[in-house]
Structures are given as C-alpha cells and as structure tokens.
Chains A and B, each alone.
Chain A
C-alpha cells in the first residue's frame, strides 16, 4: 500500500522567499506524481504532473522534481506571493495502478 508523507505540515513565510515543499512515498513503482493546490473551501487544482520517466517539471514560478529511487519529490516555489497561500497536496499512485494516494498536504501562508 502506498503511503505518502508531506513535510512540513504548515509553513508561514514573508513575501518574496523561495520555498521547498517535500513529499515522500513508500512504493517507487509509480506511473507519475502530481502536485495539487487547494484553496480554502474549494476543490483541488492540478499544478504539475511528473511522469515516472521525468526528473522535473516547471510551470512559471513552480518547479517540481522527482527522485523515484529515493521515493521523494519536492515542489519549489520561487519568489513567493500572498496569492500562493493555499494547501499543497502531493498525490502518488500505488504500483501498477493509476489510482493516486494523497498526502495530508502542506498549509502555506505567505504574508505581505
């Protein structure tokens, strides 16, 4: 069974800082890894999807990396802004499946 852990659980930073959010998983036989954003009271929005053959993906100020052998992924947020405040969730399928298991998320607050 896939287990997904996200560290830290919560993070509060001043605007402009560069951030690293961590995700670790136990079963490395995966098809992909996804990072989602969830705003309070809202659904999840996909940020980045990394296929198992890729090492990283970038979208604007976001960069996600994947190290399958060590069971780790990081989400790097450059020059953080108050609008980045949200919960960030990592989702990883179990081996041989497309069904993702979610971590509990990192709650991020970026204050002006």
Chain B
C-alpha cells in the first residue's frame, strides 16, 4: 500500500515553461487535493476534487489547472510558470467521512527562475 505518491520530488523551471505535477493514490479515496506551502505559511488549497470528473477551485487557483479522469490520479498543471509559483506542492486524499483523516504525499519542491 503506497498511499499518496507524487512525482517529481524536485524541479527547476524557467519562467514561462509548463509542467505537470503528478499525484496518485491507491486507497480508493473520493476526495483529492492540491496544496501549496510557502515558507512560514500554512497550506493553501489550490484545487480539489470530490470524485472522478469533478474538480473545483480552492483559495489560490490562478495559474494552475487540474483534471480528474480516474479515481486514482489528480495531476496539477502549470501552464506559464512564474517566480510566484516557487513553492512546495502537496497532494492529499481522503474519504467523505468525518471519521477519516487526510493522507499526504511527500511533496514536490518547485523552483521557478
């Protein structure tokens, strides 16, 4: 049982480049989330999904896109990278139940230069 996996672990992008951050979970969770964490700050929600084919914006969605074609995968797309997107990105998943916690991936560290 791998839980939540993220790739890559670290990436350097030039301004204007594009990339996709991958996230996969093997727990058959309905809910999946993308967060960004800047130094000294809490996690800010970028996008979330409550099931395959359903996505919605979080607190800071500008500059990002997501898709959810399967229950397992929830990729995050950066179309035109900007220095403000330098951050650590975390993917998480959970079930729709107050009794169940979120499970987090190890994170992707992104540097935009």
Contact = CB atoms under 8 A, between A and B. Distances in A.
Given A98-B31, A98-B96, A46 B42 contact: no
Contact of A31 (B58, B90, B92, B98): B98
A44 B104 contact: yes
Nearest to B56: A99
A45 B58 CA distance: 22
B33 A99 contact: yes
Contacts of A105: 42
Interface residues of B, number: 26
The 10 lowest CB-CB distance pairs between A and B, nearest first, are A31-B98, A102-B42, A46-B101, A43-B104, A104-B42, A44-B104, A102-B43, A32-B98, A43-B106, A49-B101
Given A31-B98, A52-B98, A99 B104 contact: no
A4 interface: yes
Contacts of A42: 106-107
